[in-house]
């Protein structure tokens, strides 16, 4: 579980990240969820963009992705979603 200090640190790290996935009109598909799961296992911290043509709420999308990928929602800012999942074998992000 992320506390506010860790969440703030991860948000700061995510400022340099570009969104690597886009959720569009078809919203969440199993293929997209699988691709996100693979990416988050590899990178630990990812950013996802929700396109304007997606009618679903970005917060709900973030919660659904987090539940299905066993990750945590760091923050939802407008149409951007930041997710985190610690790599158990080789963690890349160390908290200070």
CA–CA gap between residue 59 and residue 65 (Å, rounded) = 10
pLDDT digits (tens, 9 = 90+) for 3-27: 999 999 999 999 999 999 999 998 8
Using an 8 Å Cβ cutoff, are 83 and 48 in contact? yes
Per-residue confidence in pLDDT tens, the chain, 96 aa: 889 999 999 999 999 999 999 999 988 999 999 999 999 999 999 999 999 999 999 999 999 999 999 999 999 999 999 999 998 888 888 887
Please report the domains of the chain, with CATH numbers, ordered by start residue.
4-84 (3.30.110.60)
Torsions phi, psi for 13 (to 5 deg): -65, -35
CA–CA gap between residue 73 and residue 35 (Å, rounded) = 17
pTM for the structure as a whole: 0.93
């Amino acid at each position: 579980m992320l506390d506010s200090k860790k969440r703030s640190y991860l948000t700061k790290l995510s400022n340099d990240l570009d969104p690597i996935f886009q959720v569009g009109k078809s919203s969440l598909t199993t293929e997209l969820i699988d691709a996100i799961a693979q990416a988050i296992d590899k990178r630990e911290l990812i950013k996802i963009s929700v396109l304007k043509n997606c009618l679903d709420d970005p917060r709900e999308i973030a919660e659904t992705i987090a539940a299905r990928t066993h990750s945590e929602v760091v923050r939802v800012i407008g149409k951007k979603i930041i997710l985190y999942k610690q790599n158990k074998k080789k963690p890349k992000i160390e908290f200070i």
